[in-house]
Structure 1
Amino acid sequence: MSSQLLKGKKGIIFGALDERSIAWKTAQSAVANGAQIVLTNAPIALRMGKINELAKECNAEVIGADATSDADLDNLMQKSMEILGGKVDFILHSIGMSPNVRKSIPYTNTNHENFLKTLDISALSLHRVLQAAMKADAINEWGSVVALSYIAAQRTFPGYNDMADAKAVLESIARSFGYHYGFAKKVRVNTVSQSPTVTTAGSGVSGFDVFYDYAEKMSPLGNASAEACADFCTMLFSDFTRMLTMQNLFHDGGFSNTGVSARIIEDMQKAAGQQ
């Protein structure tokens, strides 16, 4: 979808790993809508992913930055403004990783050192990004910061493990920092709670395939795709959402407001009849 919503705007996209990632799709959508961007990810992700392909497609430069490093983020803000010729208008935070999930450690037997890493990478990194941006005065007034979240921040999904706690912290940071940044610079900060999406990160969650099918059957509109989420983020970067801040926005085809669907009831009845 291209309508030049972001013509003349500049932004930083965190977290594009490969063509399946929402950050990758958002970078494409932003550029298609007229934006200039800088791409960034952790050094290890730059080596493992395909970000240079995306950079070539989007005519964007890549700046390596560990989102848990204040020094890296300070450098990112300064270099981004140099490359783009001024302050940015939007930032996408698409960062998340849990060592406990990767190692299949159950939530009730969590390794707390891993838990702290999960919180630092997946949630506190948003605070660090916002703090670095504010310190550098890197975002124009009426700019927009969007961080990707998930409904596990509000409801329990066992396989999501300690990432659920991280998303709850992430959403709280968006509200708290959004208050301060709004009064200081009219910068708005929101989170997007996306449907389960087939990405490299999402597919690593235990039982993802089963839950993806369940969410598809529960949601009146079906699961929202990565492309649809990217276009939604583009709208949130635009001037059409200037008065929207400190919100967690469900982009999930109606899943968050559906108690149970007829399709799920039918599946339950079939299963009961087979027993």
Structure 2
Amino acid sequence: MSYNLLKGKRGIIFGALNDMSIAWKVAERAVEEGATITLSNTPVAVRMGDVSKLGEKLGAEVIPADATNVDDLEMVFQRSMDVLGGKIDFVLHSIGMSPNVRKKRLYDDIDYDLLNKTLDISAVSFHKMIQAAKKLDAIADYGSILALSYIAAQRTMFGYNDMADAKALLESIARSFGYIYGREKHVRINTISQSPTQTTAGSGVKGMSSLMDFANRMSPLGNADADECANYCIVMFSDLTRKVTMQNLFHDGGFSSMGMSLRAMDQYEKSFDLYRNPDGTIQYG
């Protein structure tokens, strides 16, 4: 169902690869809500992924670009303004990749050159993106810039590796740049801390399926999926959230506020040989 929340707005979606991508879902919902958009991903991702098909479906130009390259980013913003006919109202940064994770390097044995790549791709690219937009004065008054994060920025999550460091930096950039851009141009910058979601990028994280199951058992509302995340992004792009900025917004079914849930405790107890005492207390074997 469309509510015309983005009617007349222009946007750029970075990071759509295939129909498993959150960015893909966001692009579809943005157009459903009345926006016109451009899509951007690396030249390799454009060649090997399905983003060109998405562009055809949505009538959106696909602009190949390296999000770690400032010249490429400036080109994306300038081209998008030319194609869409004015300043940009919303931007989604849905970019993340860890070479250390891909090579199965453990956190206490990471390659530091690869760590630099992780941080550049997954976090510093967000700073470069915002800085390029600001220098070009490419974002409209009260425009909205979003990046996708994860709770590993605040809590230790086994297997998330150096991506946790990248997400912590990503959220810090949103706060620091959010103050400057908000003060000077009324542009709002936020991050959404999403439930673990089965995407192409997320599949490389060690124990991803177990992590998703654990989070689902812990969350009173269950995990938020990619379509639900897209809906939240649309609200954050809309004029309904004009005064929300510099926030890390949890979209995780309540997981971030939980300590232990009934379902998780039941599963935990099943994993042991248990003896229940007459008084109802449990003795572990």
Task: Give TM-score, length-normalised by structure 2.
Answer: 0.95
- Post-superposition shift, 1:271? 1.3
What amino acid sits opposite 1:272 in the alignment? F
What amino acid sits opposite 2:228 in the alignment? A
Match of 1:184 in 2: 184
Match of 1:145 in 2: 145
Match of 1:246 in 2: 246
Counterparts of 1:193-204 in structure 2, within 5 Å, are 193-204=193-204
* Distance in 1 between residues matched to 2:134 and 2:61, nearest whole Å: 22
Counterpart secondary structure, 2:159: helix
- Post-superposition shift, 1:79? 0.5
Counterparts of 1:1-275 in structure 2, within 5 Å, are 1-273=1-273
* Distance in 2 between residues matched to 1:25 and 1:121, nearest whole Å: 21
* Distance in 2 between residues matched to 1:273 and 1:31, nearest whole Å: 54
- Post-superposition shift, 1:265? 0.8
Q: List per-residue Cα deviations over 1:143-174 (Å, max 9, x = no partner).
A: 00000000000000120000000000000000
- Post-superposition shift, 1:115? 0.1
Q: List per-residue Cα deviations over 1:63-97 (Å, max 9, x = no partner).
A: 01101001101111110100000101000000000
What amino acid sits opposite 2:33 in the alignment? N
Match of 2:281 in 1: none
- Post-superposition shift, 1:17? 0.2
Q: List per-residue Cα deviations over 1:161-202 (Å, max 9, x = no partner).
A: 000000000000000000000011000000000000011111
What amino acid sits opposite 2:31 in the alignment? V
Question: Runs of 5+ in structure 2 lacking a partner?
Answer: 275-284
- Matched positions, count: 275
Percent of paired sites with the same residue: 61
Counterpart secondary structure, 1:234: helix
Match of 2:279 in 1: none
* Distance in 1 between residues matched to 2:120 and 2:173, nearest whole Å: 12
What amino acid sits opposite 1:141 in the alignment? D
Q: List per-residue Cα deviations over 1:188-239 (Å, max 9, x = no partner).
A: 0000000000111111101001111000100000000100000100000000
* Distance in 1 between residues matched to 2:268 and 2:82, nearest whole Å: 58
Q: List per-residue Cα deviations over 1:36-63 (Å, max 9, x = no partner).
A: 0000001111112100111011110000
Counterpart secondary structure, 1:159: coil
Counterpart secondary structure, 2:273: helix
What amino acid sits opposite 2:194 in the alignment? Q
Runs ≥4 residues deviating over 4 A: none
Query: Of Structure 1 and Structure 2, which has the larger fraction of its residues in helix?
Result: 1
Q: List per-residue Cα deviations over 1:219-265 (Å, max 9, x = no partner).
A: 00000010000010000000000000000000000000011000111
CA-based RMSD? 0.8
* Distance in 2 between residues matched to 1:51 and 1:268, nearest whole Å: 42
Task: Give TM-score, length-normalised by structure 1.
Answer: 0.99
Counterpart secondary structure, 2:142: strand
- Post-superposition shift, 1:273? 2.5
* Distance in 1 between residues matched to 2:189 and 2:92, nearest whole Å: 10
